[in-house]
């Protein structure tokens, strides 16, 4: 991975707010759905932002100056995901005292994994369908100057590929996050009321689907 500060275009003493603004500005241009953007550029931005927005990971990088490995980058993103979900759980309204927060996080992650796997399946089915339609579409240059209908199908396929790649990345992060949760447990209160693993958290969206319509 390249220098995260250079990737985001910020100085090593940049504040969290400056890092966030720089990430959003560059992500808007690097997004695969934008002209000139790419999935690889977006991946590099996400990895750099995940590292620099995590205080512990940033400190390790600043003191050692070592480039994090792919596994280390994955761990940073997984810990960030867990931290955000945990904070959301703590802020949940009407939280029963007997709620098992660790069990709730695990249930939430497993539910999100199932949803993303389902969406990936739909994207793959969409690709297969579009590939069949591409074979059926024939273009004979007459009144139109270019084969714009084939372009539509190609854009749809490109969007599906990007969505699948993003989804698989999120699934990889979630799998590691679930492994990390094994290091934690939630001490139940002494009460006759049973622990409740389910709770309502503030909405947290895992966005990955590509465009290409």
Closest CA to 113 of 170, 61, 66, 187: 170
Q: Does the structure show a pLDDT above 90 at 194?
A: no
pLDDT value at residue 205: 43
All structural domains of the chain with their residue ranges? 4-68, 75-213
Three-class SS state of 167? helix
Please, are residues 34 and 28 in contact by the beta-carbon 8 Å criterion?
A: yes
Instruction: Name 196's bridge partners.
Output: 99
Q: Does the structure show a pLDDT above 60 at 210?
A: no
Q: Does the structure show a pLDDT above 90 at 43?
A: no
Which carries the bigger pLDDT value, residue 130 or residue 144?
Answer: 130
Tens digit of pLDDT for each residue in 172-189? 999 999 999 999 998 877
In this prediction the pTM is: 0.62
Q: Which two tokens stand for residue 61?
A: 């990088």
Q: What is the mean pLDDT of the chain?
A: 82
pLDDT value at residue 201: 43
Q: Does the structure show a pLDDT above 80 at 108?
A: yes
Compute the average pLDDT of residues 160-164.
89
User: Among positive and negative, which fits the CA dihedral 63, 66, 69, 73?
Assistant: positive
Interacting residues of 117 by C-beta distance below 8 A, sequence separation 6+:
167, 171
> Distance (Å, rounded) from C-alpha 156 to C-alpha 153?
5
> Distance (Å, rounded) from C-alpha 44 to C-alpha 7?
7
pLDDT value at residue 112: 93
Kindly report which listed range (44-58, 114-128, 193-207) carries the lowest average pLDDT score: 193-207
Closest CA to 210 of 155, 176, 178, 162: 162
Q: Which two tokens stand for residue 54?
A: 């995590």
CATH number for region 4-68: 1.10.287.110
Which carries the bigger pLDDT value, residue 56 or residue 114?
Answer: 114
Give the helix/strand (H/E) hosting 17.
Answer: helix 16-30
pLDDT value at residue 184: 93
Q: Does the structure show a pLDDT above 80 at 94?
A: no
Tens digit of pLDDT for each residue in 64-89? 766 666 777 788 888 888 988 898 88
């Amino acid at each position: 991975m390249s220098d995260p500060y250079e990737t985001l275009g910020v100085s090593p003493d940049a504040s969290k707010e400056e890092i966030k603004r720089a990430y959003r500005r560059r992500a808007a241009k690097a997004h695969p759905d934008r002209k000139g953007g790419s999935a690889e550029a977006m991946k590099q931005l996400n990895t750099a932002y995940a590292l620099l927005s995590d205080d512990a990971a940033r400190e390790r990088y600043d003191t050692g100056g070592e480039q994090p490995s792919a596994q280390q980058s994955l761990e940073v993103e997984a810990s960030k995901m867990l931290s955000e979900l945990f904070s959301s759980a703590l802020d949940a309204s009407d939280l029963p005292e007997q709620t098992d927060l660790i069990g709730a996080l695990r249930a939430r992650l497993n539910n999100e994994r199932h949803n993303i796997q389902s969406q990936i399946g739909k994207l793959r089915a969409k690709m297969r369908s579009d590939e069949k339609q591409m074979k059926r579409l024939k273009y004979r240059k007459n009144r139109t100057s270019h084969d714009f209908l084939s372009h539509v199908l190609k854009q749809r396929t490109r969007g599906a590929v990007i969505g699948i790649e993003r989804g698989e990345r999120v699934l990889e992060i979630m799998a590691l996050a679930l492994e990390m949760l094994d290091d934690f447990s939630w001490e139940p209160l002494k009460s006759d009321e049973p622990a409740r693993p389910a709770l309502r958290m503030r909405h947290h969206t895992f966005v990955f689907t590509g465009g290409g319509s």
